[in-house]
Structures are given as C-alpha cells and as structure tokens.
Structure 1
Amino acid sequence: MKNIFIFGYYGFKNLGDEAILASIIKTIKENDSSAHILALSYNVDYTEKIHGVTGVSRNNMIEIIKAIRVSNLVISGGGSLLQDVTSSRSLVYYLALVLLAKLMSKPVLFYSNGFGPIKNRINKILTKKIVNKVDKIIVRDEDSKRAMEDIGISRPIKVTTDATFILGGTGSDRALEILKDEKIPTDNPLVGISVRPWYFKESFIGTMAKFADYLSDKGLTVLFIPMQMPKDLEVSNKIIKKMKREAYVLKGDYIPEDVLSIIGKMQILIGMRLHALIFAGIQGVPMLGLEYDPKIPTFLKSVGQKNMGMLDKLDLVNLCIEFDDLWSSREQYSQELKEMIKHNQEIANNNKEILKTMMG
C-alpha cells in the first residue's frame, strides 16, 4: 500500500484550498484506490471528516516528520503556497517541508501549484535553492512558470491548469435544498458576489454596497457567497449593512462540491476569490473578476472573462456598465466560457498521468 503525504493550506475552511485537496485525493484514488493519504491540516478533525483521509497537525512537527518518513511520495498541493506577500513565515514553513522530504530522500511533486510573488531577496535565494531539489514541478499557469524561472529555478516546469477543474458538484437538487434551508428566494434571477478580507480602503465596501443595490433595483436577488468562514462572512455582512436594499449571504459551513453547485444557480458571479471564479467557470456562469492578486487577471484572461481591475480603483459606474453588458450577452459569454473550461478540464486530466508515474 502506497502512503502519500499532501501538504497545503488545509483545515482553515478555505473552500478553494479544500477543493484542491479534494481534487488531488480524487486523482490519487483513481490511480490507486488502496493508497493511504495523509494531509497536513490546521484542523485535523475537519480534514478527516470532510475528506476521509488521515489528518496531520501542521503545528506538530514530530507528527509531520513521521508522516513524511512513512510516505512514498510527498505532494505540494497548492494554491500559491510559495509567496511572501502575506508573510515570509508561511513561505519558510512550506520550504522547510520540502527540505525535510528531500533530506529523507522522498520524491516531491509540486501539483498544479501557483507561485509567487516573492519580493524579498533572501526569500528568493532560499526558494531557488530548495525548489531546485524538487523531483517534478507542475504549475497551473504560465505566469507561475515565468516567476519560478525569474528567480533561477532551473528544474523542468510543466504548465497544466488548476487541479480543481476536475471537481464535480453535489447536484442541482442539493443546491436548491441549501438555498431553501437558508431562506434565500429563488423566484428572481440570482447574482453571486464573493469577497474576501484584503488591504482595501473603506471606499471599496461603499462601492460594493451601491453596486449590490443597483443589482437589487434591477429585480435580481443578490447572494454573497463566502469561500472562507468566518472571514469572508464578516466582509460580506459589512457590505450588506451599508446597502439600502435587501441581500442574502450563505451562513452555513459547506463542502466545496456544495458551493460549486450553488454557484451553478447564479446567472452571473462577481468575485475576488480565485476558486469562486473557477467554480463559476466549471458551471458555465459568466463572471466579473475583482483583482487583488496576480492570479486573478491570469485566470480571467485564460477563460476570456472580464477583469474589473484593482480594488482601490474600482469605479461604480464602470462596474454597472460592465455588468449590464455582461447581463445582456450572458448566454453568449456562458457558451464561450464552457468551451474554454472544457479545454482546461482536458489539460487538468494530464495531471492524472503525471501523478500515476510519480506514484510508481
């Protein structure tokens, strides 16, 4: 029986990262149903309950060392784990896991990772030295490959796409059941909004509140969709408090596949969170992206969807104009989006063959 250790930003109830983990687990099991999977987690009970794998506490280095020691393969299951925008501490932490694995002579696979940005000179040197020891590197976009090469990573880098493109939802009936339980009306068209905490000015909250009122005045039901509890819920509620009209927000804790299905009920999604946008793409839901990180415009460009630009430069009038344009042509945008996503899903399936080779 193969033991596989996956590390990432798991157990924090971030649905994007949980979707990545679910996708990697699905791919591993398709290759080898008997594989024993261990996953790094902030909340071991949550990870074991949601994913049915063995959780390893990210705060217990002895347990982590044991997990790596018994593993036949170590997987970096990003997102963008290697970046120093949020902090250097997390970058050093994940690099240490790679180094530990290599010191124990374990094969390491970077599985559809994002990469960067890395600003600090010392961090760049450290990352270059350690990542050049990795056995196989797969990144989710060309920008990540370029960022790796720019700091001197010389290992071969294969570009595929985000791991979550292979994910499926729990179905339309489940989505409607959740909306009913949360008392969210479905008699008018639904428009989803996904926001997250960031270093934006208070004016962003006001702009989004006025925009949501504009949508409501058009006879649309506005639903805020948190992708990480409780952080996104708090920002969503701040916007709703500033609104003059009624809006709704998902309050429950749901698995990624549930939220994927709920987003499938939207006519349009306006989003900051990458995986809210990816979920919309999987469901053929046209989108307006709100940029806070380079990964957002990279994704939007890859699927031909609208980028509203940086948060602090967000213009209410332009937002409303772009929404109206998207609304009037949403069926055309949806059809084009489905074609592009189909291509991404085919590319994501390449990961399965690479993983199969690494599993031996």
Structure 2
Amino acid sequence: MRERTGLTIGVLGSYGGRNLGDEAILTGLLDDLRRHEPHARIIVFSRNPAHTALAHPEVEAVPWEGVSRVDSSPVLNQLDLLILGGGGILYDKEARRYLRVVRVAQERGLPLITYAVGVGPLTDTLDSGMVRETLAQAVEVTVRDQESRMVLEEAGLVNPITVTADPAFLLEPEEFPQQWLREEGVPAGSRLVGLSVREPGRAAERLDVDGYHRLLAQIGDFLVHRIDAYVLFVPMERDDIRHSHGVLSHMTAADRGRILHGDYRPAQILGLMRHFDLAVGMRLHFLIFAAMMGTPFLPLPYAGKVFDLAQRLGVPALRGVEREVEGPLLAEVDRLWDEREARADATARRVAEVCEQARGTSQVTRSVLDSIRARTLTHAL
C-alpha cells in the first residue's frame, strides 16, 4: 500500500501567462488549499510551467497546451481532485481548450469542482454544449459573479450553482515601500493617481487605437491639473505597457506621468494601492485591489465582469469609453473625487461582504476535500 500524507490536487486555469490578475487568483487559491490541506501535493496546469514553478516553488507545474490525451493521462491519473478555475476561462473558443483536459480527467472518474470561475460570453454551440455537459458531472459548481451563473443557466446547466466572489479577494497585501515609488520615478509629497489601461476591445469598439489613447490621456491630464497629482500607470499584463505608453504620449502633462516597470508580485501591487489617492481603470483585478485597500476608484468597464463588480460594490461605472465624449467622462471623474469621502464607508461595507462571499468558495472546497479525504482513508483500511 502506498503511504500518503495528503491529497494530490490538480489546478487548471489561465496560469503562467504573466497576467497579474490570474496570478492573484492562483495565489489566493493556493493559500486557501494550504489552509485546508497543508500536506497536499498540488499540481498546477500552466501555460508556462517554468514561470509558475518560479513564482510558486511549493507546487509542481506541468504544461497542458498542446499536450495530447495520452500524454496528459499519467498526470491526471495521480490526482484525487481536479479544480477548474478560478478566473474567466469559460467563454467562446477558449472553453473547449480547458474542457478537453477536464473530459480526459472525468473519463478516469476524477472528481471536478469549479473554483469561482468566470463564464461568458458563451454563444458558440460547441463551447456552450461542452460547458453544459462537463459541468453537469461536477461535484460542485461555484462562479464568481451573477452574470456567470446566468450564462450557465442559459446554456442549460441544471446543477446547483453557488455564486461566491473572485479568489483575489482572499489575497493579503504585502508592503510596497515608498522607496520603490522613488525608484519608479514618482516624487514624494504629491498626490498619486493609479491608472490601468488595456487594449480597447469591447470598451471602445468605435474608436481607433489612437483615438482611444487620446481620450484616456484627457483623463490623465485632467487629474494632473484637477487634484495636482502624479499619474502612475499600472500594467497588469505585458500588452498593457504598450497602451500605457500610447496614452502617456498624448498627455500634455506627460512629465507628471510614470509607468510602473518593476516586476512585482500580486500581493505587492495590492500593497501599492495604499499609496493611491484615486484609482481609475479597466482591468478587473486592478479595481479589485483598489477596493480591497479602500482606495476610491472609478471603473472604465470593458466587459460584464467589471460591470458586475461595480454593481456589487455600489460604485458608478461608465458604459464604455466609446460612448463617452470628453465632458461626461471627465465630469464623472470629477464627481468621484468630490464624493470620495462620502462614499468610503458604504463601499468598505460592501467590500467586506464580497470578501466574505469569496470565503464561500473556500467553504465549498473544504467540504469536498473532507469528503475525498474520508473516502481515501476508508479505501486505505
């Protein structure tokens, strides 16, 4: 009989892509698993196993993209549980790629749970059908927002679906010293605004890239002059750097803007939020981090998940920058600054509620782990 000190758990998500939001999700998820199963062997299926192993040396990292059914089977055969998520991975054209791995696991009788997964848009017949059929066999289905539950229900999933919250809400901040800001070129003694930009995508479908950059540059210039601030662009993934430079190049007050260049962990970026007087941005996890640290923030939504976050936290959200001319856009930024103190307490209460909802995923996971552990011990006797 093989001696075991803990369960072997597989985690499949959009990891290894050097996206700080996805890495925040993985960090929160792994911390949660360690609390429940401190001696577990955890295997992360990663886009870049070397990067994942370096960032999380306590886990094993293996590739999954481009790996055949035959080659993936030896790893899957070692697992006691497969966790799908978290993060927004079940959407058109992408869901099928993850579920190909899940189906091989299910053929071997491996239990599956989803961990605060994000779902949608899901209009492709193939992806919708695969999601419905695969998750119908899951032990537990948890999603991170109401929109994801609605998408699953519309796809025909009849299983109970538990709405929790993004695993990043479980993250604990690390210190981001003032000295690091000085090294990034941000002077002491000035107000500081965090700005997160990404590719236009659905947020600005009717603007070309240059027009999109010019519009966001107006926000940067407005904040510089309105509140006498420096603007620090916070790239959440590599391509954000290019768009940050594009926006900065159109700012008339470009000398008061900086782009964060260091290689920081998600928990350190979370700690950075303490230094901001205001945060304006598009990336979901940039906004989550601001909310967690009590920094006033204005979402510039590009997807339903950002609208859902704004609704849950009771903050205003613009309906996409392509539909906003300069005046209304800057007026909303101006109003956020004026009302920041009045909104602070209500927002803090809602953030605390969402953090508690994020712990709901942990409770579901613990129940499943307890059940598997008990069954494993019974079989070992």
TM class, shorter-chain normalised?
Answer: over 0.9
For the Cα contact (< 8 Å) 2:169–2:358, is it kept in 1?
yes
The equivalences for 1:90-129 within 5 A come to 90-129=94-133
The equivalences for 1:59-98 within 5 A come to 59=65, 61=67, 64-84=72-92, 88=93, 90-98=94-102
The equivalent of 1:345 in structure 2 is 355
The equivalent of 1:29 in structure 2 is 34
- Taking structure 2 as the reference length, the TM-score comes to 0.89
Task: Confirm or deny that 1:309 pairs with 2:319.
Answer: yes
Task: Detail structure 1 runs of 4+ shifted over 4 Å in the superposition.
Answer: none
Gaps of 5+ in 2: 1-5, 371-381
1:334 Cα deviation after fit: 2.3
1:128 Cα deviation after fit: 1.5
The equivalences for 1:200-239 within 5 A come to 200=204, 201=207, 202=209, 203-218=211-226, 219-228=228-237, 230-239=238-247
1:60 Cα deviation after fit: 5.3
Distance 1:115 1:342 in 2: 24
Distance 1:325 1:238 in 2: 26
The equivalent of 1:192 in structure 2 is 194
Please point out which of 21, 44, 47 is paired with 1:16.
21
Distance 2:73 2:327 in 1: 54
Distance 1:50 1:97 in 2: 23
Cα distance per residue 1:74-109 (max 9 Å; x no partner): 00122110101xxx1x22111112211111111111
For the Cα contact (< 8 Å) 2:279–2:295, is it kept in 1?
yes
Aligned residues: 353
For the Cα contact (< 8 Å) 1:15–1:227, is it kept in 2?
yes
1:25 Cα deviation after fit: 0.3
- Taking structure 1 as the reference length, the TM-score comes to 0.94
The equivalent of 2:63 in structure 1 is 57
In the superposition, relative to structure 1, how do residues 109 and 177 fare at CA in structure 2: closer, same or farther (>3 Å)? farther
1:260 Cα deviation after fit: 0.7
Distance 1:127 1:32 in 2: 28
Distance 2:114 2:177 in 1: 33
Cα distance per residue 1:31-88 (max 9 Å; x no partner): 121111111112212111212211111335266433321111100122110101xxx1
SS of the residue corresponding to residue 10 of structure 1 reads: coil
The equivalent of 1:163 in structure 2 is 167
SS of the residue corresponding to residue 291 of structure 1 reads: coil
% identical aligned pairs = 28
For the Cα contact (< 8 Å) 1:284–1:335, is it kept in 2?
no
For the Cα contact (< 8 Å) 1:3–1:35, is it kept in 2?
yes
The equivalent of 1:183 in structure 2 is 185
For the Cα contact (< 8 Å) 1:175–1:258, is it kept in 2?
no
RMSD across aligned positions (CA): 1.4
SS of the residue corresponding to residue 285 of structure 1 reads: coil
Cα distance per residue 1:307-358 (max 9 Å; x no partner): 0111311322112111111111212222222111111111222222211111
